Structure 1
Amino acid sequence: MANNYVILGAYGGIGSALTRRLADAGHRLFLVGRDQARLQPLAAEVGAVGFARADATASAEVESTIADGAAQLGTLDGIANCFGSLLLKPAHLTTDEELEATLAISLKSAFATVRAAARTMKQGGSVVLLSSAAARLGIASHEAIAAAKAGVQGLALSAAATYASRNLRVNCVAPGLTKTPLTERITGNEMAAKGSLAMHALGRFGEASEVASAIAWLLDPEQSWVTGQVIGVDGGLATVRTRG
């Protein structure tokens, strides 16, 4: 059965993997991203119902594009927010502007997504937000991104409780280090990659398709009894140690 989904951050590494996965399964999509020039060819490739540009840091734009997507799709079964950023700095070197931008892209856009879902998805459905393994354990120089992603997790849990009576499910996926254009400066740097790989119990980086698979699973109406969960797709980073 084809479902109707809005994908935010659709052309990013994880967002594009999710978009193609859902399109291949026959679902109807409305795509949202910050750069229309990158968004348009992806929408054409997958035959999206529509697409729109939105600034991830502007709540009004995020909410209006979700409402627009719902209108074009007719009904809305789910929303996935794949917007994100990666700031690797210790707190004492992080400026207010950098902190505010990190919080806005990840946490503020997630809040706007939940708010729009609550206003738009009157018959229920699924909202999936993107957190990070960095929100579940301490990793050096991740203060800003960890704060933002921990906020996303708290938001998901509270919203799951608030909207459960309306059958609106809210969940999080928390990846470990995943190979995407955003993380290439780490995964493509031999020294940085070696240190990071040692922290992942499975001994490798994640693939965007693996994170997308978990998001797609949570979006599916078949998972109608899953809400308020933070699912780690992280190679064991947040929970497993193979050395004593």
Structure 2
Amino acid sequence: MIDQPTYAIVGATGGIGSELCRTLAATGATLFLGARHESRLEHLIAELRQDSPAVVHAFPLDATNSEEVDLFFAKAVETCGTLHGAVNLVGSLLLKPAHLTNDYEFGDTIMLNLNTAFYVLRAAARMMQTTGGSIVLASSVASKIGLANHEAIAAAKGGINGLVMAAAATYASKHIRVNAVAPALVRTPLAEKITSNELALKASTAMHPLGRIGEPTDVVAAIAWLLDPRTSWVTGQILSLDGGMSSIRGK
């Protein structure tokens, strides 16, 4: 059992990312955090250092730049000595039908979701070749069921599902586990346009058999579980966190 594991979190300052950092920091884990907005990163670091016993490091990066992602993981190992887990939570949410989605919007959606996932997985896998570890990516319920106006994001997240399955097979012999979480609507700043609209929120809530949308803690609990060495027999999984939306129908 690892007493103080080291985790690298890309997209650390988002709604789910910041909550994950708080959860892992409370356990005493060492954290190496990356995000695009340096001021938000500094604010999160200050909060974590004040409220938890964790050792926390920060490294601003643009996760759509593969060279910056490679440098981030190299710095993580240089600074912390080893790496037990990596998470990519960079992403976007585009709700438009295909015929209204322009080339830039589609390309941006693929870049922010699928490309960043590939860059993080590739860089993390390089650093875990001799030590093993856990890599967790962010998929979506939209990759599992057909949702109107989700064409671009469904394509990106579907790509992540395929990436997880292939990489899990590739790196299993190195004891590198690769999994993803696939949430439905979660109450985060990214989803604020939906959650702040009473009618949209009511309609979305009705789509979830458990009768509510997700909270960041719902997703964080699953990510922390996938990172934990006690789940060392779990790989190649796309874990649905969607209130039953993708698998059952409410009454």
TM-score, scaled relative to structure 2: 0.95
Inter-partner Cα distance in structure 1 for 2:77 and 2:12: 16
Deviation of the 1:129 alpha carbon: 0.2
Query: 1:207 — aligned with what?
Result: 215
1:232 aligns with 2:246: no
1:94 aligns with 2:101: yes
Deviation track 1:45-96 (CA, whole Å, cap 9, x = no partner) reads 2135311111122122122112211211110000011111111111011111
Q: What's the RMSD between the two structures over aligned residues?
A: 0.9
Inter-partner Cα distance in structure 1 for 2:64 and 2:106: 12
1:182 aligns with 2:190: yes
1:6 match: secondary structure: strand
Query: 1:110 — aligned with what?
Result: 117
1:221 aligns with 2:221: no
Deviation track 1:136-175 (CA, whole Å, cap 9, x = no partner) reads 0011111111110111111011000000000000000000
1:177 match: secondary structure: coil
Deviation track 1:1-27 (CA, whole Å, cap 9, x = no partner) reads 110000010010000010000000110
CA contact (8 A) 1:57 1:101 kept: no
Gaps of 5+ in 1: none
Report the count of equivalent residues. Answer: 243
Inter-partner Cα distance in structure 2 for 1:81 and 1:63: 13
2:59 match: secondary structure: strand
Query: 1:35 — aligned with what?
Result: 37
Query: 1:46 — aligned with what?
Result: 48
1:67-146 matches, within 5 Å, as 67-122=74-129, 123-146=131-154
Query: 1:171 — aligned with what?
Result: 179
Gaps of 5+ in 2: 50-54
Amino acid at match of 1:34: R
Percentage identity across aligned positions?
Answer: 54
Inter-partner Cα distance in structure 1 for 2:126 and 2:38: 26
1:218 match: secondary structure: helix
1:160 aligns with 2:162: no
Inter-partner Cα distance in structure 2 for 1:46 and 1:134: 33
